[in-house]
Structure 1
Amino acid sequence: YQMRYGTSFEQALRILYNEGGIRRFYQGLSFAIIQAPLSRFGSVAANDGINALLASMESTRHWGAGRSTLIASFAVGLWRMFLMPIDTCKTILQVDSSDGFKTLLRKVKAGKIHVLYQGAFANALASIVAHYPWFFTYNQLLNSKFFQRSIEFLKFSLLKNALVGFLASIVSDTITNAIRVVKTTKQAMAAKHAVTYGEAIRMIWTADGWKGLFGRGLRARILSNGLQSIIFVVVWRGLQQRYAGNSENSEGEENDEKVN
């Protein structure tokens, strides 16, 4: 809502509450529940899968984290474009509630399927640009001996993973916010009438200038994405460590059997 209309965080809370109480804050929840895990796990699967693939090839195994993460970022961008119809339905409900969603459905039923893909290129670009700094920060922090020594006071690996996820999210969201503001504006306008990327940028600039383009909704996004990243990284790293432990135990048992 902030990214589309440019209000402050406090104003957005009041407006949304006046529109429908607590329930208004959960418009688009059903689509978000589908989109969020698909987006998150798709991103991490691309990151880990591409890195594993490149590490297994003779010609690319010497590549650093930067180049490998860049390749994975393009795969993530394509995946996010595939998920665009879900994202559009979620965004329209969040921005313009059920009235906007009904307008969107009328257009789709009239054969205007393209409205579900408004902002697709901006979404792909935002995903690429967001994925790269997120996972580059994530990979660098996990592999940095200096950083790991600096957080030794956090006794539990769960807390360390949470901090890594939150820092990666702050870096990523700050860098990509302008692209997401343009994407959300173009996407939300699709229920009314299509606008070009240039028109969307001019609308934002005329209303709020550079602060609107780069700052709309940033605080709320850092808060929400930061919490998501904390939970996601903790769960993902926990599953990785558990799987790695089970694999090592299985290999150990196999070796013992061979020795016997």
Structure 2
Amino acid sequence: MIGDIVTVTVDRPIGSYHPEHKDIYYPINYGYIEGVMAPDGEWQDAYILGIDQAVEKFTGKVIAVIHRIDDIEDKWVVCPDNCMFSQEEILERVSFQEQYFKVEIILKTSIILVKAEFDDIDTILQMQKKAFAELYKKYQDTKTSPATENYEDILFRFNQPETTYYFITANNEMVGVIRVVDHKDGVTRKRISPIFIMPEHRNKGYAQQAIAEAERIHGKNHWKLDTILQEKGNCYLYEKLGYHQTGKTEIINDKMMIVFYEKD
């Protein structure tokens, strides 16, 4: 979404107050982007920077995402195409409302997907085992957990012509892995299976950025994936990115169930 041109319908212009919390005054324009659904079931909210008067609508560029770590929804930051603001400048302008949340400001895609090579298979395996160890301990899903797979399992998938493994890298460091299954036939849904971020690099928005980058590379539409229903953070992430539950589920054991998602 960063870099996209969008139109914001302003429902809280400069000089207005929050409809429910009357102590929150809006020193900047704030509204929503019709047609972009947010995880709360409403249109995506957006702050407008670089405009000093109240407006009813504004078309500009998305320059940042304000990720609320302790809330269900993120906020976008939109400004004129020729403007740019630093993280500090954005935070200063939106703190009248964001001060009540724990936030991080994402200015641009900070991750890069690096295609894995044959010699990387063992590295992928070791990273995968470490990344899924906690979930395996929690659910004891021996037959389905990526933590129990071996070299031959990764090798088999790596050699599939439709499979591409990518290292998720940030600041020249491997922070995770994403596997994309893309038949490139225009019919079969593309699939993410698996995606994981190493424990020491979680809660930094890397998974969200990796999925968005995979969609940029392989095409934004016609995807599917699955996750553990009991892991609400995973479900929230995928739903935030536009994936919806298909209604299909699979019981693995008395502790966990797999839920299936699609994105059109």
| Same fold by TM-score greater than 0.5 | no
TM score, norm. by length of structure 1:
0.23
TM score, norm. by length of structure 2:
0.23
Q: Which has the higher contact order (CA 8 A, sep 6+)?
A: 1
